[in-house]
Amino acid sequence: MDNDKLQLFENKAIRTAWDEEKEEWYFSIVDVVAVLTDSPNPQTYWRVMKKRLKDEGNETVTNCNALKMTAADGKKRLTDVATTEQLLRIIQSIPSPKAEPFKLWLAEVGRERIEETIDPEQAIDRALETYLKKGYTREWINQRLQAIQVRKELTDEWQDRGVKKGVEYAILTDEITRAWSGMTTRQYKKLKGLKKENLRDNMSTTEIILNMLAETSTKDISQASKPETFEENIEVARRGGNVAGIAKQALEAETGKPVITSQNAAQLNAVVTGMIEGVVARKRRKTKRTNKGVTSGTLRAENACVSAASSAGKRRRRYFIFKPAKTAF
């Protein structure tokens, strides 16, 4: 079960989990309460409401499960969750003008998941649309989506080797990251000034490509060497990361500048935006100069024509004045 997927309702995050076997969404009740009530303390609101519903004999509350989800401090903690059906019943007990829009949102979330199960490309399209709205370039997005696929292939390989999700995945990821970048994931995030944000979403295109090389190399080496213990998987992770580390060193030797940047997504996007605006501004100045040159040239040409015509007119006037006098003789 994936317990770390965030869904957005009116730009507010709601923690969710998808149960592959039951094909059912689970939603953090506290997050939903926070969205619907704007309560400064949604935990207390839900605790009081939960007791009242239990006292009334409400079976929905009794049947609610608890799952470990990432809390605000980054730690995994148990939180009450509800299925779509259970949540709809709970919402009936919350007086909120947002209740109806939220019900529509729930239906949309369910519909999108069904569509993505039938056609996985729709999930990719939605991810593309989300990144575009955040201001990322299409080049970066293409690399990021490819990196997501590479990561999925690596974790599938880890699963086949008996590696456990969570802590063991994190340890292996750290080994890969350290091997190619010289830093752990935490150190890398600190360099970029990140806290809860996704590190890969804050990498430059080159950083993403090198990280992707490290992960796909780890997968290929794992498939070839077939590690049986966790210690052997750690060694494979280091070897895979070293492949990208060598590539990083070679690129830095050629360019004379470091690959890893302290810039995060907001700063990288600002740089791209600045570059685009600079190009537009230069084109405008060039167009303005061209138009000004054309106008000045036209005026000079027109003045030359007027001057020539004036001179010709004077010559003609002198000719006609002189000619009658000559004819008179």
Please check whether residues 258 and 268 belong to one and the same domain: no
Highest-scoring range by mean pLDDT, 72-76, 91-95, 141-145: 91-95
Please check whether residues 288 and 160 belong to one and the same domain: no
Q: Which residues, including other chains, have CB under 8 Å from residue 261's CB and lie 6 or more apart? A: 204, 207, 268
Residue type at 176 in one-letter notation: I
d(CA 285, CA 93): 62
Q: How many domains does the chain have?
A: 3
Cα 71 from chain centroid (whole Å):
22
Q: Residue 251 has which token pair? A: 């690129």
Please check whether residues 161 and 252 belong to one and the same domain: yes
Please check whether residues 229 and 141 belong to one and the same domain: yes
Q: Which phi and psi (to 5°) does residue 75 adopt? A: -95, 150
pLDDT digits (tens, 9 = 90+) for 98-117: 888 887 777 766 555 444 44
Please check whether residues 273 and 192 belong to one and the same domain: no
Please check whether residues 90 and 140 belong to one and the same domain: no
Domain span including residue 107: 2-118
CA dihedral (35, 19, 6, 171) positive or negative: positive
Please check whether residues 288 and 172 belong to one and the same domain: no
Please check whether residues 87 and 187 belong to one and the same domain: no
Highest-scoring range by mean pLDDT, 25-29, 232-236, 282-286: 232-236
Distance of CA 223 to CAs 153, 173, 182, Å? 11, 17, 25
Long-range contacts of 27-30 (CB under 8 A, 24+ apart): 27/81, 27/82, 27/83, 27/84, 27/87, 28/69, 28/79, 28/80, 28/81, 29/64, 29/79, 29/80, 29/81, 29/82, 29/87, 29/90, 30/79, 30/80
pLDDT digits (tens, 9 = 90+) for 124-170: 566 667 767 777 777 777 777 888 889 999 999 999 999 998 889 99
Please check whether residues 142 and 251 belong to one and the same domain: yes
Is 1 strand, coil or helix? coil
Q: Residue 62 has which token pair? A: 């009794």
Please check whether residues 35 and 112 belong to one and the same domain: yes
Residue that is last in its domain, among 118, 141, 173: 118
DSSP-derived letter for residue 202 is G
pTM given for the model: 0.48
Residue that is last in its domain, among 67, 97, 118: 118
pLDDT for position 289: 58
